């Protein structure tokens, strides 16, 4: 045992506790000093107060609820038959009584109304000395409307008494059943069999139409990656076939840039001959490349069919309609450009030459086609070109009726998506009056385009001379 110094145990020093807070009747501390308790001394358990003497304690407010707030789980509470129907009837009768009461109060009959109640328990409304009113109760049938084909009416009404829309009371009188014997005699059980009635299938509006699969639009970078991956795979396949002996190895691709490195020995012997052979090989490779391109090139008819196919696919995605306004179309060159561009972009429609500074172009087609045609009319056509010189001997127009060339322009008035395509081709028509142009558009259910033009002309000061 080692000689360690002996340490005497020190007495336990109690912790200093804060002064408790004692509130007076005025609500302040007795010592006028508030101390915040920061020690983590556990609080004593709460004192449980019995329910018998809870109201005898001076510090308990008897107005507070002392019972348990837990909800009791009860059984199912079913609603009585016609509970809400009767409630609705009472509310309607009460509202009617209030209206009648307000009317009588306006007439100065308040003394008569105070002599009796307005609404009794059985639904009878009493209006003082004016009398009583009992609401009409509509009887309810014993069977539903789907049982009507299996029921035989007890009595038939005369033909002259049949209403166009029979009420519920007349319907009930026709199929009124009083006892069980009448019920058994009024049903037609011959139409009830053991077979199962299967309704016929309703055909689809267009059974041939098939929804195309959803396509994922790839970005330009993703398409480049896929194209590079496919090209590398084709190159690997060719290399594998060459290794297996299925394909002969390609000849070396000698160019003027690598001629000295590939054919070093031959070049030292006869450089002029080697250069001639290399140039001939380059010309031969270029010729083979051109021939392969010509083999893949489409013919004129195939290119036309390809363009038509794209145009039809564009129309299937949605038919778009546009309305253009042109001030002057008397120039034959402008008419030719309007008609030729519509044919080029596969746009159908009509051009109405009304006169008096009003010409309307109605164009319809696919989204891409109409977008290209719109850009061509608004940006690609020179509408202010000079008029051609008329031939000799022709009737010259009145100069006062001609519109100045610098005022000619083309505007897009309306553009939107329609349900179906109206025209099959593009044509130019000349009409005599604005009413005739409106009738032409109304005949093909495009009258709203004329309304759009009228609204546009009303907001434009340059149409002050135009009269519909």
Cα 352 from Cα 441, distance rounded (Å)? 10
Assigned token pair, 110: 């308040």
According to the model, what pLDDT value does residue 123 have?
Answer: 56
Neighbours of 335 (CB within 10 A): 15
Instruction: Evaluate whether 194 touches 157 at the Cβ level (below 8 Å).
Output: no
Name the DSSP class of 445. Answer: T
Kindly state the helix (H) or strand (E) to which residue 170 belongs, with its residue range.
helix 168-174
Long-range contacts of the stretch 12-20 (C-beta < 8 A, 24+): 15/39
According to the model, what pLDDT value does residue 396 have?
Answer: 65
Highest average pLDDT, of 18-32, 151-165, 221-235, 402-416, comes from 221-235
Kindly state the helix (H) or strand (E) to which residue 417 belongs, with its residue range.
strand 410-418
Output the DSSP codes for 76-105: --PPPTTHHHHHHHHHHHHHHHHHHHHHHH
Output the DSSP codes for 245-273: TSSPPPPP---TTTHHHHSHHHHHH-HHH
Instruction: Evaluate whether 412 touches 378 at the Cβ level (below 8 Å).
Output: yes
Q: Does the pLDDT at position 13 exceed 70?
A: no
Residues 6+ away with beta carbon under 8 Å from 114: 128
Residue whose C-alpha is closest to residue 377's, from 323, 448, 418: 323
Angle between helices 447-459 and 434-442 (to 10 degrees): 140
Residues 6+ away with beta carbon under 8 Å from 335: 329, 351, 428
pLDDT: is 453 or 207 the higher one? 453
Q: Does the pLDDT at position 197 exceed 60?
A: yes
According to the model, what pLDDT value does residue 166 have?
Answer: 45
For residues 23-36, give the mean pLDDT.
52
Cα 399 from Cα 390, distance rounded (Å)? 13
pTM exceeds 0.85, yes or no: no
According to the model, what pLDDT value does residue 358 have?
Answer: 87
Highest average pLDDT, of 124-138, 189-203, 358-372, comes from 358-372
In this prediction, residue 366 has a pLDDT band, given cuts at 50, 70 and 90, of very high
Residue ranges per structural domain of the chain:
83-133, 145-191, 220-250, 318-386+402-463
Cα 123 from Cα 245, distance rounded (Å)? 106
User: 3-state class of 363 per DSSP?
Assistant: strand
Kindly state the helix (H) or strand (E) to which residue 427 belongs, with its residue range.
strand 426-430
What are φ and ψ of residue 176, in 5° steps? Answer: -80, 130
Residue 35 CA, distance from chain mean position: 66
CATH class held by domain 318-386+402-463: alpha beta
Task: Work out the mean pLDDT of the chain and round it to a whole number.
Answer: 76
As to burial, measured by CB atoms within 10 angstroms (0-12 exposed, 13-18 middle, 19+ buried), residue 358 is buried
According to the model, what pLDDT value does residue 177 have?
Answer: 43
Cα 361 from Cα 413, distance rounded (Å)? 10
In this prediction, residue 371 has a pLDDT band, given cuts at 50, 70 and 90, of very high
Residues 6+ away with beta carbon under 8 Å from 321: 362, 363, 364, 370, 414, 415, 416, 417, 418, 446, 449
In this prediction, residue 227 has a pLDDT band, given cuts at 50, 70 and 90, of very high
Assigned token pair, 441: 């558009």
According to the model, what pLDDT value does residue 80 have?
Answer: 83
Looking at the chain, how many residues does it have? Answer: 468
In this prediction, residue 167 has a pLDDT band, given cuts at 50, 70 and 90, of very low
Neighbours of 39 (CB within 10 A): 8
Instruction: Evaluate whether 326 touches 382 at the Cβ level (below 8 Å).
Output: no
């Amino acid at each position: 045992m080692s000689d360690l110094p002996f340490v005497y145990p020190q007495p336990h020093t109690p912790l200093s506790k804060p002064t408790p807070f004692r509130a007076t009747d005025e609500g302040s501390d007795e010592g006028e000093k508030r101390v915040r308790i920061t020690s983590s001394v556990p609080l004593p358990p709460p004192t449980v107060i019995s329910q018998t003497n809870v109201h005898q304690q001076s510090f308990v407010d008897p107005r507070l609820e002392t019972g348990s707030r837990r909800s009791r789980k009860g059984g199912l509470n079913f609603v009585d038959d016609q509970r809400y129907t009767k409630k609705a009837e009472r509310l309607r009768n009460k509202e009617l009584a209030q209206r009648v009461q307000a009317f009588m109060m306006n007439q100065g009959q308040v003394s008569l109304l105070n002599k009796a109640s307005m609404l009794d328990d059985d639904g009878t409304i009493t209006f003082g000395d004016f009398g009583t009113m009992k609401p009409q109760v509509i009887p309810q049938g014993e069977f539903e409307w789907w049982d009507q084909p299996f029921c035989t009416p007890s009595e038939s009404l005369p033909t002259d008494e049949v209403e166009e829309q029979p009420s519920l009371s007349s319907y009930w009188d026709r199929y009124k059943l009083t006892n069980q014997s009448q019920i058994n005699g009024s049903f037609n059980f011959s139409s009830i069999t053991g077979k199962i009635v299967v309704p016929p299938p309703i055909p689809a509006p267009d059974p041939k139409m098939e929804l195309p699969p959803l396509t994922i639009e790839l970005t330009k970078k993703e398409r480049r990656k896929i194209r590079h991956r496919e090209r590398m795979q084709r190159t690997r396949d060719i290399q594998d076939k060459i290794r297996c002996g299925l394909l002969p190895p390609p000849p070396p691709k000698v160019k003027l840039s690598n001629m000295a490195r590939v054919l070093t020995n031959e070049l030292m012997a006869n450089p002029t001959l080697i250069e001639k052979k290399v140039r001939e090989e380059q010309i031969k490779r270029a010729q083979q490349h051109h021939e392969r391109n010509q083999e893949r090139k489409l013919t004129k008819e195939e290119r036309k069919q390809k363009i038509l196919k794209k145009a039809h696919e564009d129309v299937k995605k949605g038919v778009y309609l546009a309305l253009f306004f042109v001030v002057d179309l008397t120039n034959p060159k402008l008419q030719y450009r309007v008609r030729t561009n519509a044919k080029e972009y596969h746009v159908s429609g009509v051009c109405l030459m009304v006169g008096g500074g009003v010409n309307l172009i109605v164009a319809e087609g696919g989204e891409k086609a109409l977008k290209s045609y719109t850009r061509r009319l608004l940006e690609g056509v020179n509408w202010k070109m000079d008029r051609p010189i008329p031939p000799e001997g022709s009737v010259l127009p009145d100069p006062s009726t001609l519109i100045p060339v610098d005022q000619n322009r083309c505007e897009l008035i309306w553009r939107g998506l329609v349900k179906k395509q109206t025209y099959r081709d593009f044509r130019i028509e000349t009409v005599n009056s604005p009413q005739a142009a409106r009738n032409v558009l109304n005949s093909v259910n495009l009258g709203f385009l004329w309304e759009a033009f009228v609204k546009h002309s009303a907001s434009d000061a340059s149409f002050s001379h135009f009269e519909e």
